[in-house]
């Protein structure tokens, strides 16, 4: 499956890349939540090819109606993760594909066609960027850690969420090296896998934002939990906390207040 999967995702990357360098008309799903014809085109292409070659899997995809699809043997797609970056020409945008067998992680692929960076992991076989092994950072001290986060689209309409974002920044910023907001959850998880970031947290993400990245990070030696420090459920948990493992508890102690 893995060779074919990568081949299809690389081809879909050509659609994303063409869109990145073209004029795009933008529609709004919500006040801050954008969608373009390229999100739809990448998703349609992936769905068409995956359903042709991987018939034993159903498909859960961001721009589709998933209401009648049961998570089990599933391929979870975010056709463009980092759409705001994509629209504005920030090259931090990717296709994210997580494959689950019997609800269990199997393969994760995150592909940024602009930088031609393909992150891949298969459970038990390690994580790789363009074929080179990925390993999380060894840093143990939160104060020396570069962290990342994201701001939920709901921050434009939900005052509770906005307040929560701000309180967490206030608690964390003095205690880490610095905090980044790069705008693509799947790549943020890959950057923790690569040792660029020591940790990452965010609220209100959807399964397609993280389905691939959490497989890649686990295989690179990282740790993922919800905000209470329990095992993370991508369908239910409000927060994801993802780190190199070494700063996990200290980061949790600043977040879970
Ligand atoms: C978004 C990105 C962003 C995160 C948002 C996500 P999208 O996905 O991952 O980094 O902060 O919460 O929804 O909408 O670009 O696919
Ligand atoms: Ca996304
Ligand atoms: Ca998306």
Q: pLDDT for 54-73, tens place per residue?
A: 999 999 999 999 999 999 99
Q: How confident is the model at residue 213 (pLDDT cuts 50, 70, 90)?
A: very high
- For 33-118, where are the alpha helices, taking DSSP H only? 37-53, 83-88
Which residues are CB-neighbours of 110 under 8 A, at least 6 positions away?
Answer: 81, 94, 95, 96, 97, 118, 119, 186, 187, 189, 190, 212, 213, 216
Beta strands in the chain (DSSP E): 26-28, 34-36, 58-61, 74-81, 94-101, 104-112, 117-122, 127-129, 132-133, 146-149, 178-180, 199-203, 223-225, 239-243
The residue-averaged pLDDT of 5-10 equals 98
pLDDT in tens, 238-254: 999 999 999 999 999 99
Return the CATH number of the domain spanning residue range 2-133. Answer: 3.30.540.10
Nearest of 168, 171, 176, 175 to residue 151 by alpha carbon: 168
Q: Do 68 and 92 touch, CB atoms closer than 8 A?
A: no
43 in contact with ligand 1, CB cutoff 6 A: no
Closest ligand 1 atom to 209 CA = 9
In sequence order, the β-bridge partners of residue 128 are 120, 133
Which pTM does this prediction carry?
0.97
Which pLDDT belongs to residue 242? 98
Nearest ligand, CA 61: 3
Q: How confident is the model at residue 115 (pLDDT cuts 50, 70, 90)?
A: very high
Q: Do 94 and 129 touch, CB atoms closer than 8 A?
A: no
Q: How confident is the model at residue 218 (pLDDT cuts 50, 70, 90)?
A: very high
82 in contact with ligand 1, CB cutoff 6 A: yes
Nearest of 17, 221, 243, 241 to residue 118 by alpha carbon: 17
Closest ligand 1 atom to 39 CA = 16
79 in contact with ligand 1, CB cutoff 6 A: no
Give burial (CB, 10 Å; 0-12/13-18/19+) of 31: exposed
The mean pLDDT of the chain is 96
**Higher-pLDDT residue of 257, 96:** 96
How do the domains of the chain map onto residue ranges? 2-133, 142-255
Q: Check the CA dihedral 74-121-94-41 and report its sign.
A: negative
Give the residue, by CA position, lying nearest to ligand 1 atom 16.
81
Q: Is residue 257's pLDDT more than 80?
A: no
Q: How far is the CA of 209 from the centre of ligand 1 (A)?
A: 7
The residue-averaged pLDDT of 212-233 equals 98
Give the residue, by CA position, lying nearest to ligand 1 atom 5.
152
Q: How far is the CA of 253 from the centre of ligand 3 (A)?
A: 30
152 in contact with ligand 1, CB cutoff 6 A: yes
The residue-averaged pLDDT of 141-157 equals 93
Which pLDDT belongs to residue 31? 83
Q: How confident is the model at residue 193 (pLDDT cuts 50, 70, 90)?
A: very high
Q: Do 38 and 15 touch, CB atoms closer than 8 A?
A: yes
Which pLDDT belongs to residue 33? 83
Return the CATH number of the domain spanning residue range 142-255. Answer: 3.40.190.80
């Amino acid at each position: 499956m893995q060779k074919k999967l990568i081949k299809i995702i690389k081809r879909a990357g050509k659609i994303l890349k063409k869109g990145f360098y073209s004029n795009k008309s933008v529609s709004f799903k919500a006040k801050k939540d954008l969608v373009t014809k390229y999100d739809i085109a990448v998703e349609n292409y992936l769905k068409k090819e995956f359903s042709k070659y991987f018939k034993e899997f159903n498909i859960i995809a961001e721009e589709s109606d998933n209401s009648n699809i049961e998570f089990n043997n599933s391929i979870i797609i975010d056709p463009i993760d980092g759409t705001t970056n994509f629209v504005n020409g920030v090259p931090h945008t990717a296709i994210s594909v997580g494959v689950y067998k019997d609800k269990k992680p199997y393969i994760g692929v995150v592909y940024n066609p602009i930088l031609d960076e393909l992150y891949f992991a298969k459970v038990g076989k390690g994580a790789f960027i363009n074929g080179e092994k990925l390993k999380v950072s060894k840093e143990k001290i939160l104060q020396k850690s570069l962290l990342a986060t994201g701001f939920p689209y709901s921050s434009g309409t939900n005052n509770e969420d906005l307040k929560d974002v701000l309180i967490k920044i206030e608690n964390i910023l003095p205690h880490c090296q610095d905090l980044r907001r790069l705008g693509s959850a799947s790549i943020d998880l890959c950057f923790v896998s690569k040792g660029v970031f020591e940790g990452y947290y965010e609220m209100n993400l959807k399964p397609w934002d993280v389905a691939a990245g959490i497989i890649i990070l686990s295989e690179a030696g990282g740790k993922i939990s919800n905000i209470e420090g329990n095992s993370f459920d991508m369908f239910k948990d409000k927060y994801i906390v993802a780190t190199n493992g070494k700063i996990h508890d200290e980061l949790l102690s600043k977040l879970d207040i």
